[in-house]
Structure 1
């Protein structure tokens, strides 16, 4: 056993090589010290380039397995997939999408084999994935597919409030069609379990409406009457502290004032507009329902900042801490 590797070891995927992922990984892990350890799964040559962008000269350690971990260095499982001369910083490219996808699948494999405590992900470009012929709308769906998980959702955690989204990466037209009692109830269940895993014994779950004013008793749509309210009633009958549906324009304000522990949002942008307007830097994505821990930064590749060395590391730090919190409670996400 490696005497330097006594803490739980998490894998951090490098993210899209052309985005800010390599830079924030280097900035965060330079002189990093905590009660858990991190190894980057990516391309060492890209991380070395990123160190130059952020003005650092860290020591890197190439790992083949956990026994190679060295606490005095930035530890890297070098995928050997792409190097700086093979792509352009700050734009979507198929070779970057292919590499980013490979980092993710290798990290999932390590976690599924219990060789690491969990996976933390840096941002990828959905456009780069598509250009590479990889037809997943995002991280969440990749993790679900590769772990064989059918019941899952995207949970966004900010200021101790968890938000689950009934629909995510699809058109608004499709999202409205997807709203059903079964889908809403599944997300209530997943959010309730996730918040308990995060230490809240009896989570107060608020469910948002789909339509303006939560439909105003059918004046502005009947999805609340036909699907959302029946799901809430079912959850209550199971002993879950659920309530709603509440107007989506006020539900988040009430949650962040302390009235609720979690919110089930019908639409991607109902949740994320509110969350990212409140605090863009500290939010964390958690994929709930998986057999492994997976947390992620709450932002994208920020191609406009790539190569500048100016990208914030705050969301990555929050994602790392959330992963350890889940691990320390003996929970999966």
Structure 2
């Protein structure tokens, strides 16, 4: 947990990219040493992050007590460092010393062990920034999927599918597509029920709530279609009939993106690469993240895929450049 330092991307100047790692400096050094790597990160005073001569890769330490955190386990100490790293990175972005933040995976169990009772990054970041009604978007190539609901029980999803929430997600998704410079911003809304309710045989939420909301959004100028049955909408997205899909709940949106983003060696059954980015929309700051978990089973072995992290940093930079422009 302590080694999953938050990655901070500060100050865009003439298209240049500089990075600051925020986390436990001692855990970072131990990891670099155990893997036999060179360490390009330079420890810096946080007050100097925006300075023109700041190093291209810097490190800000939040572990003043030099806690001994075991590798590959959820602990209160690791959860405390992870929370402090995220909070510090958010501070940098909120006060203008950073243009965006990119977070590594966190253990929700460790976070709660440390007394920070959040169900995930999205809820934590909303609290730290004072934002409400934020939206999770997953991206893998042209597969862009926003979510009406995320970390809630499936039985609670129907009552959270409201006209207000649907409209909020459509607006933020449209803004994200615009920031990415897409010439077209066509959004599909996945149906909550099988076959979009089949005329009411399988539930009426799609008919009574989703359809009228879509009509209203179209009248307001949004290019939105649906409800499209969940068993075909992602195939249509992959075929580029849409630029994004809005999923009703966590697994409906996560499964197709991760199925395409996770490359598996058929002979060994091991992951070869993990591609995909998690973006939090609706915050006053830009935040991206990897689209995978902590993988404690391989922690410290030097075999984890870096693909998703690189993609997350690149997407954060893209959003930041769009905002600055």
Instruction: Report the TM-score when normalising by structure 2.
Output: 0.88
Name the residue aligned to 1:312. Answer: 305
1:193 Cα deviation after fit: 1.2
Name the residue aligned to 1:265. Answer: 247
Name the residue aligned to 1:291. Answer: 284
Cα distance per residue 1:37-67 (max 9 Å; x no partner): 1010111111111213433132441110224
Name the residue aligned to 2:43. Answer: 62
My pick for the range that moved more, 54-63 or 88-97, is 54-63
C-alpha distance in structure 2 between counterparts of 1:265 and 1:220, whole Å = 18
C-alpha distance in structure 2 between counterparts of 1:325 and 1:268, whole Å = 25
Q: Structure 1 residues 53, 174: CA separation in 2 closer, same or farther (over 3 Å shift)? A: farther
Query: Which secondary structure state, in structure 2, belongs to the residue aligned with residue 304 of structure 1?
Result: helix
Say whether the 8 Å CA contact 2:206–2:227 is kept in structure 1: yes
Say whether the 8 Å CA contact 1:162–1:191 is kept in structure 2: no
C-alpha distance in structure 2 between counterparts of 1:120 and 1:265, whole Å = 23
Instruction: Report the TM-score when normalising by structure 1.
Output: 0.86
Say whether the 8 Å CA contact 1:81–1:99 is kept in structure 2: no
Q: Structure 1 residues 305, 179: CA separation in 2 closer, same or farther (over 3 Å shift)? A: same
Is residue 41 from structure 1 mapped to residue 22 from structure 2 by the alignment? Answer: yes
Query: Which secondary structure state, in structure 2, belongs to the residue aligned with residue 220 of structure 1?
Result: coil
Say whether the 8 Å CA contact 1:232–1:242 is kept in structure 2: yes
Name the residue aligned to 1:160. Answer: 142
1:253 Cα deviation after fit: 1.2
RMSD over aligned CA atoms reads 1.9
Name the residue aligned to 1:125. Answer: 107
Q: How does 1:180-329 map onto structure 2 within 5 Å?
A: 180-280=162-262, 281-329=274-322
C-alpha distance in structure 2 between counterparts of 1:142 and 1:201, whole Å = 33
Say whether the 8 Å CA contact 1:158–1:275 is kept in structure 2: yes
1:203 Cα deviation after fit: 0.4
C-alpha distance in structure 2 between counterparts of 1:254 and 1:131, whole Å = 42
Query: Which secondary structure state, in structure 2, belongs to the residue aligned with residue 274 of structure 1?
Result: helix
C-alpha distance in structure 2 between counterparts of 1:274 and 1:298, whole Å = 13
1:165 Cα deviation after fit: 0.4
Say whether the 8 Å CA contact 1:209–1:266 is kept in structure 2: yes
Q: Structure 1 residues 151, 201: CA separation in 2 closer, same or farther (over 3 Å shift)? A: farther
Gaps of 5+ in 1: 1-15, 26-33
1:86 Cα deviation after fit: 1.8
